[in-house]
Amino acid sequence: MRPTIGSWWRKGSTSKRAAIDRERIHSRENGTVVTRECIRSQVILTIAGAALWLALSSCQLGGSSPPAQVGPVSLRVGESATISLYTHCGILAVTINGMAFYADPPLSDGNGNPPSGWGNPTDIGTVTLTTATTADFTDSKGNRAHFTSAPAGPAPTILPCF
């Protein structure tokens, strides 16, 4: 027996209605229907937002790293100055007398941040030019870093920290 057009339409609408009912998981008081697809979208957007927030909150916004000290530091051997050392991506370098002095060894927590106990994004302390090519930094908590303008290997490339 061949189905009539009416019975086919009813059968189709029933299947369609059942599919819609299966997609509905919650009906709100105001009559709106929340579907699984809607919830999936909300979850994905929430996760993406959280990932973006983590990425931006753990690093500096902007295109380049700020200078390692506030204001120019000009020292003679044996002299000291109080500086604000840039530590956000680890203790990597300081500029003295217009020259880059590289941390020897570079100090980091392994995730691009300063080690525990150091200030972040900067640490206030005293830098002393010990020789023409070496300097030492000490903060009030006792953290220390040694810097050299003549590293044993090639001069490290310090990329902008974002």
Here the tokens at position 97 are: 């007398």
pLDDT at 64: 42
Geometric angle at alpha carbon 127, from 114 and 83, rounded to 5°: 70
Q: Does the pLDDT value for residue 58 go beyond 70?
A: no
Residue-level pLDDT at 123: 95
Q: What is the pLDDT of residue 59?
A: 46
The predicted model gives 16-39 an average pLDDT of 61
Q: β-strand 33-35 against 91-96: which pairing, if any?
A: unpaired
Alpha-helix runs per DSSP H in 1-159: 5-23, 36-57
- Supply the pLDDT for residue 47: 74
Question: What pLDDT is recorded for position 62?
Answer: 41
pLDDT-derived band at 54 (thresholds 50, 70, 90) equals low
